[in-house]
């Protein structure tokens, strides 16, 4: 018996520990303060970056400061055991605090409004008195319709002091706070489902290649269950600038070696804000890069002076002939980003394909004639002496960086967000208002007493009551 008592006592102790608002404040503070450190120390970054940063505060002892922070988990703190523990304590605190208060509130919500004793009328926050001409049987319908007009459904009862109407609105809005707390727990649950049932990986796909796996940050392979290929990657720029307008990848899905149609199309084009979803896995456009190799090919559209056309694909050093002529072109040089410096010299100003250009040497019957740079983004550079050479693309030299994610909990998170929006609306923009009206006949006239109360926005209820009284007195 004694041990059960003891056990009960310690359970009570744990319960009251988690139910205390002090704990909430302590956890709020701990999460906030450690998070501040987490925003200053770059998370999950190379040690050198943070040592450089720490040197500003600690000078020569920066490396030891770094080792100290690293040992405590501050360099990847949002995933450290102690930070996750804070979050769980926060959740437990939220659950138990809500459970503590919920019964009282539920009692309040479950019990509808009751007629008020006559003495109660004088103690309400809002109270009015008015005398209306005519007997009760004439005034009662007037009052009833005015209450309905104000948006309330009144219950009429015969009380000792006279006829009483009572009505209330927004009783359930008192639950708004709890709905909001519950939504935080839903979002938590969704996040946990995501951590255990999903993955967050990445995949770099060179144009013209495919993969059936994605890679976690740790380098671990995650099989997709199908394979994905990148047909083409492209960056579009705003006119004459290096400000990108969009990054686009054209992707294909293969199952058992056969292409799969998504929305009736084999090729799906994705951009930064429009990902591709297939079998619960989502592919997001997240980055790109330039990685030229021996298989990269120059794609040119050739038109001779008399309008004969040809499309060619060449490797570096390859040659082509302008149709209907003896003029041969050869790929001599390439720059991913060609620019002109102050002295008029050409140079490559970036390692990405910001302004790709190809140098073509033209010759006729083996004798070199001239060379010309063709710029992909500038069609006016495509005109050469013997025709028009359109530089369409250097294909197979860029890779698309895809974020690959599977998150079965994301719908729970979205549901939590929706519930939170509803809860906040109820908690902040709705109020529980109650109205009592007592009608008493006095010498052929009727005295009307009005009392009202609201847990929020009293001023607006006061306005409503005044309008209600005006409606009744105008109709008398």
Partner 1 sequence: MDSSQFFGISSIAYILAMVTYIAYLVFRNSTVGLVATTITAVGFVSQTLAFFMRGKEFYDLAQLGSILRAIPLTNLYESLVFFVWCIILGYLLIEWKYKNRSFGAFITPIAGMVLAFIDISGMDKNIHPLIPALQSNWLLAHVTMSFLAYAAFAISFATAIMFLAVSSEDEKKWPYITWTVTLGVFVAVLIAMGIDFLVFKVGAHSTESLVKSHLFKASFRNSSLPVVLFSYLSLAGFVFGVWKYGKVLKKIIGSFDISQDMLDDLVYKTIAVGFPVFTLGGLIFGAIWADQAWGKYWSWDPKETWSLITWFVYAFFLHARFLKGWRGDKIAAVSVLGFVSTIFTYLGVNLLLSGLHSYGGGG
Question: Is residue 88 at the binding interface for partner 1, with CB under 8 A as the rule?
Answer: no
Residue number with CB closer to partner 1 (122 or 274): 274
Please list the residues that pair with 363 across neighbouring strands: 328, 368
**Smallest distance from partner 1 to CB 327, Å:** 38
Give the single-character DSSP code of 431: -
With a CB cutoff of 8 Å and minimum separation 6, the contacts of 451 are 116, 120, 121, 124, 126, 127, 435, 436, 437
Which of 54, 143, 427, 451 is close enough to bind partner 1 by CB under 8 A? 427
Residue number with CB closer to partner 1 (19 or 357): 19
**Smallest distance from partner 1 to CB 378, Å:** 19
- Alpha-carbon span 55 to 58, nearest angstrom: 5
- Alpha-carbon span 169 to 178, nearest angstrom: 19
Task: Report angle CA 396, 397, 401 to the nearest 5 degrees.
Answer: 95
> Do 248 and 207 meet the contact criterion of CB atoms below 8 Å apart?
no
Which of 73, 170, 208, 275 is close enough to bind partner 1 by CB under 8 A? 275
The interface with partner 1 within residues 24-63 (CB under 8 A) comprises: 24-25, 28, 31-32, 35-36, 38-40, 42-43
Q: Identify the CA nearest to 452 among candidates 170, 173, 178, 175.
A: 170
**Smallest distance from partner 1 to CB 102, Å:** 14
> Do 282 and 275 meet the contact criterion of CB atoms below 8 Å apart?
yes
Question: Is residue 424 at the binding interface for partner 1, with CB under 8 A as the rule?
Answer: yes
Residue 404 has φ and ψ, to the nearest 5°, of: -115, 120
Interface stretch with partner 1, choices 63-71, 150-158, 338-346, 425-433 (CB under 8 A): 425-433
- Alpha-carbon span 358 to 315, nearest angstrom: 12
Count the site residues for partner 1 by CB under 8 A.
Answer: 45
**Smallest distance from partner 1 to CB 103, Å:** 16
Interface stretch with partner 1, choices 131-139, 207-215, 382-390, 409-417 (CB under 8 A): 409-417
The 104-133 site mask, x for binding partner 1 (CB under 8 A), equals ------------------------------
- Alpha-carbon span 307 to 323, nearest angstrom: 9
Residue 355, number of CB atoms within 10 A of its CB: 19
Q: Identify the CA nearest to 331 among candidates 317, 350, 342.
A: 317
Which of 429, 442, 460, 463 is close enough to bind partner 1 by CB under 8 A? 429
Give the single-character DSSP code of 216: -
Residue number with CB closer to partner 1 (273 or 365): 273
- Alpha-carbon span 63 to 61, nearest angstrom: 6
Interface stretch with partner 1, choices 22-30, 152-160, 209-217, 356-364 (CB under 8 A): 22-30
Residue number with CB closer to partner 1 (35 or 348): 35
The 209-238 site mask, x for binding partner 1 (CB under 8 A), equals -----------------------------x
Q: Identify the CA nearest to 251 among candidates 303, 281, 209.
A: 209
Which of 66, 74, 152, 284 is close enough to bind partner 1 by CB under 8 A? 284
CA distances (Å), 432 to each of 156, 380, 456, in order?
20, 71, 7
- 3-class SS at 88? helix
The 334-353 site mask, x for binding partner 1 (CB under 8 A), equals --------------------
Residue number with CB closer to partner 1 (106 or 272): 272
Residues that bind partner 1 in the complex, under the rule CB under 8 A: 21, 24-25, 28, 31-32, 35-36, 38-40, 42-43, 78, 191, 200, 238, 241, 243-247, 271-273, 275, 282, 284-286, 403-405, 410, 413-414, 417, 420-421, 424-425, 427-429
């Amino acid at each position: 018996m004694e041990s059960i008592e003891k056990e009960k006592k310690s359970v009570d102790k744990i319960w009251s520990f988690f139910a205390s608002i002090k704990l909430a404040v302590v956890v709020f503070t701990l999460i906030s303060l450690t998070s501040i450190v987490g925003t200053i120390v770059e998370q999950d970054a190379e040690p050198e970056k943070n040592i450089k940063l720490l040197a500003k505060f600690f000078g020569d002892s920066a490396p030891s400061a770094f080792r100290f922070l690293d040992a405590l988990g501050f360099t990847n703190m949002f995933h450290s055991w102690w930070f996750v523990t804070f979050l769980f304590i926060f959740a437990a605190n939220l659950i138990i605090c809500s459970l503590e208060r919920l019964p009282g509130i539920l009692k309040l919500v479950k019990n509808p409004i009751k007629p008020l004793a006559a003495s109660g009328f004088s103690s309400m926050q809002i109270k009015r008195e008015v005398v209306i001409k005519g007997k009760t049987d004439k005034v009662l319908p007037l009052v009833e319709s005015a209450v309905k007009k104000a948006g309330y459904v009144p219950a009429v009862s015969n009380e000792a002091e006279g006829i009483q109407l009572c009505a209330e609105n927004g009783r359930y809005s008192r639950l708004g706070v709890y709905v909001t707390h519950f939504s935080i727990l839903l979002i938590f649950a969704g996040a946990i489902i995501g951590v255990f049932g999903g993955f967050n990986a990445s995949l770099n796909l060179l144009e013209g290649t495919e993969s059936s796996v994605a890679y976690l940050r740790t380098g671990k392979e995650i099989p997709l269950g199908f394979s994905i290929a990148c047909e083409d990657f492209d960056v579009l720029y705003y006119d004459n600038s290096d400000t990108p307008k969009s990054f686009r990848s054209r992707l294909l899905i293969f199952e058992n070696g056969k292409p799969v149609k998504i929305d009736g199309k084999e090729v799906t084009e994705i951009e930064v804000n429009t990902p591709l979803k297939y079998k619960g896995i989502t592919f997001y456009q997240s980055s790109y890069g330039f990685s030229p190799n021996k298989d990269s090919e120059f794609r040119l559209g050739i038109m001779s002076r008399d309008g004969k056309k040809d499309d060619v694909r060449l490797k570096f050093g390859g040659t082509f002939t302008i149709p209907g002529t003896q003029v041969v072109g050869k790929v001599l040089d390439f720059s991913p980003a060609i620019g002109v410096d102050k002295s008029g010299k050409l140079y490559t100003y970036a390692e990405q394909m910001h302004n790709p250009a190809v140098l073509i040497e033209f010759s006729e019957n083996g004798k070199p004639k001239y060379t010309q740079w063709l710029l992909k983004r500038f069609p006016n550079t495509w005109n050469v002496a013997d025709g028009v050479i359109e530089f369409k693309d250097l294909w197979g030299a860029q890779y698309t960086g895809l974020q690959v994610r599977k998150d079965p909990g994301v719908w729970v998170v979205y549901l939590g967000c929706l519930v939170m929006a509803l809860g906040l609306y109820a908690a902040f923009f709705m109020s529980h208002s109650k109205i009592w009206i007592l009608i008493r006949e006095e010498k052929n006239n009727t005295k009307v007493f009005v009392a009202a109360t609201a847990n929020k926005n009293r001023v607006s209820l006061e306005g409503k009551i005044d309008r209600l009284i005006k409606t009744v007195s105008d109709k008398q």
